[in-house]
Amino acid sequence: MNILIVGSGGREHAIAASVVKSSHADKIYCAPGNAGIAKIAECVPIGAMEFEKLAAFAKEKNVGFTIVGMDDPLVGGIVDVFEKEGLTIFGPRKNAAILEGSKAFSKDLMKKYNIPTAAYETFDDSHKALEYIDTAKLPIVLKADGLALGKGVLICNTLEEAKAGVKEIMEDKKFGSAGNHMVIEEFMTGREVSVLSFVDGKTIQIMSSAQDHKRAKDGDLGLNTGGMGTFSPSPFYTKEVDAFCKEHIYQKTVDAMAAEGREFKGIIFFGLMLTEDGPKVLEYNARFGDPEAQVVLPRMKNDVIEVMQACVDGRLDQLKLEFEENAAVCVVLASDGYPLSYEKGFEIFGEETFDDKDGYYCFHAGTKKNEDGKIVTNGGRVLGITAKGADLKEARANAYAAADWISFENKYMRHDIGKAIDEA
Ligand code: AMP
Ligand code: GLY
């Protein structure tokens, strides 16, 4: 059947690369896509938030299955629009995507169903939030309630910073309407792990674990970004951690959503922190991580369409997810200056080196083809270079070797992606 993928980043390129291998995929479309996705799918210039146009396109092209990579369209209700038109689509409906769309909702859900997370309070009035801060323990974490491109989280070490943060979020609306409500929560310490899962409303199946590197600079310094690199599996995600999360977090979350009348189908991404008191949920996302997808999907043995179709049909219990017994590392090549200001439009060289190499992937994020037909940089995160290896160390060495195959004028990357592997 024909497949439509909605999104334009490295995650959607990784999804497309898995879909290409599916025995159920005929023609693949991606809206809007990017220059890398265009090599394996037909990119169509429709924005991810143009639900009616996307649905009309899916009907016109006889698309049998649509996959949504991004959070905004899911939270905005793309799944409801497609379903109303009788189209099959993979992802949570609007009333379930709220698991990512509202931090206040997800914190209240965890509290109500006793799912371990940081202690917190929610506020819709800045004065009350400021009063609370006067009595709270430092450091303290402030979160704008809604989607804020991963930037709506402030970790404040002093009272002054925290007060300024509340004003920025709730009064100056630095993150827009995401700041109409906010969550103030306890600061936790520990190692972070990303666990992605497939969910069919009742059953949940966990994918291989991963770890992201969110800060821009080596040594976890610099500003928060969308993610500068990942590795999978995480050696810190032990059997004990897995057993704890299976008992206290995963199924409980799926059951809680169902009990609330918000049946969740699609991907739940658990952002976990492994604290001294055990694993706790930092956040939920309702989609694949970016760049987690770039290290998890290439290691999945199943036919991705079969798994997603089983989620839509509510028969995930009949399937067994299988991952290769190896490892993968993704190093993001960014434009120097990201996440603040950076130049773009530079020609990218060296991509063809990946063409004949198994286990190496050059996933495009911010790229485009210019008027001369050349592939140029077109965003902050430009490429995600993924390599597999027999183990994490080999995968890391391979990924960094492959990162050197690419050149463009203001290429920037972290040099310590996967450094934590040495401490495992
Ligand atoms: P979130 O978008 O909620 O995942 O937050 C972004 C990042 O902020 C996380 O990946 C953590 O590194 C950090 N963070 C969020 N909440 C906390 C917390 N309660 N304690 C410590 N760090 C946090
Ligand atoms: N890599 C983190 C995220 O996708 O939210």
What pLDDT was estimated at residue 350? 97
C-alpha of residue 282 to centroid of ligand 1, in Å:
6
- The helix/strand/coil state of 397 is helix
Which residues lie below 8 Å from residue 374, measured CB to CB, with a gap of 6+? 347
Percent residues over pLDDT 70 in the chain: 99
Using a 6 Å cutoff on CB, does residue 222 contact ligand 2?
Answer: no
- CA-nearest residue, atom 3 of ligand 1: 283
Three-state DSSP string of 323-385: ECCCEEEEEEEEECCCCCCCCCCCECECHHHHCCCCCEEEEECCEEECCCCCEEECCCEEEEE
C-alpha of residue 197 to centroid of ligand 2, in Å:
14
174-183 pLDDT, tens digit each: 888 877 889 9
C-alpha of residue 243 to centroid of ligand 1, in Å:
23
Counting ligands in written order, which one lies closest to the CA of residue 210? Answer: 2
Instruction: For ligand 1, pick from 122, 153, 169, 185 the residue to mutate: most ligand atoms within 8 Å of CB.
Output: 153
Instruction: For ligand 2, pick from 225, 290, 294, 414 the residue to mutate: most ligand atoms within 8 Å of CB.
Output: 290
Mean pLDDT of 144-149: 80
Using a 6 Å cutoff on CB, does residue 185 contact ligand 1?
Answer: yes
- CA-nearest residue, atom 7 of ligand 1: 153
C-alpha of residue 393 to centroid of ligand 2, in Å:
23
Which residues lie below 8 Å from residue 397, measured CB to CB, with a gap of 6+? 389
Using a 6 Å cutoff on CB, does residue 212 contact ligand 2?
Answer: yes
What pLDDT was estimated at residue 149? 65
Using a 6 Å cutoff on CB, does residue 220 contact ligand 1?
Answer: no
In whole angstroms, give the CA distance from residue 232 to residue 5.
24
178-221 pLDDT, tens digit each: 778 899 999 999 999 999 999 999 999 999 999 999 999 999 99
Q: What is the mean pLDDT of the chain?
A: 96
Return the ligand 2 atom nearest residue 11 CA: 4
Using a 6 Å cutoff on CB, does residue 285 contact ligand 2?
Answer: yes
Using a 6 Å cutoff on CB, does residue 215 contact ligand 1?
Answer: no
- CA-nearest residue, atom 4 of ligand 2: 289
Q: Which of 15, 70, 89, 103 is nearest to 287 (CA)?
A: 70
Using a 6 Å cutoff on CB, does residue 1 contact ligand 1?
Answer: no
In whole angstroms, give the CA distance from residue 404 to residue 279.
37
C-alpha of residue 226 to centroid of ligand 1, in Å:
13
C-alpha of residue 271 to centroid of ligand 1, in Å:
9
pTM to 2 decimals?
A: 0.96
Pairing of strands 191-200, 327-335: unpaired
What pLDDT was estimated at residue 150? 63
Q: Which of 269, 227, 228, 213 is nearest to 100 (CA)?
A: 269
User: Do the beta carbons of residue 181 and residue 122 sit within 8 Å?
Assistant: yes
Using the structure block, give the residue that is written with the tokens 């500003």.
223
C-alpha distance from residue 62 to each of 56, 65, 69, 79, 331 (Å): 10, 9, 20, 17, 37
C-alpha distance from residue 201 to each of 75, 242, 269, 301 (Å): 17, 21, 15, 23
Q: Is the pLDDT of residue 148 over 80?
A: no
Q: Is the pLDDT of residue 50 over 90?
A: yes
DSSP for 190-209, please give it: SEEEEEEEEEESS-EEE---
- CA-nearest residue, atom 18 of ligand 1: 187
Counting ligands in written order, which one lies closest to the CA of residue 289? Answer: 2
C-alpha of residue 7 to centroid of ligand 2, in Å:
14
What pLDDT was estimated at residue 26? 98
Using a 6 Å cutoff on CB, does residue 120 contact ligand 1?
Answer: no
Using a 6 Å cutoff on CB, does residue 71 contact ligand 2?
Answer: no
Q: Which two tokens stand for residue 250?
A: 């995963």
How far apart, in Å, do the first and last CA atoms of the chain sit? 44
C-alpha of residue 298 to centroid of ligand 1, in Å:
27
In whole angstroms, give the CA distance from residue 76 to residue 51.
9
User: Do the beta carbons of residue 30 and residue 363 sit within 8 Å?
Assistant: no
User: Do the beta carbons of residue 116 and residue 88 sit within 8 Å?
Assistant: no
Percent residues over pLDDT 90 in the chain: 91
**Which one-letter DSSP state was computed for residue 169?**
I
Helices of type H across 21-93:
51-60, 71-76, 78-84
Instruction: For ligand 1, pick from 155, 214, 223, 270 the residue to mutate: most ligand atoms within 8 Å of CB.
Output: 155
What pLDDT was estimated at residue 86? 98
Confidence of residue 356 (pLDDT cuts 50, 70, 90): confident
Instruction: For ligand 1, pick from 154, 224, 282, 285 the residue to mutate: most ligand atoms within 8 Å of CB.
Output: 282
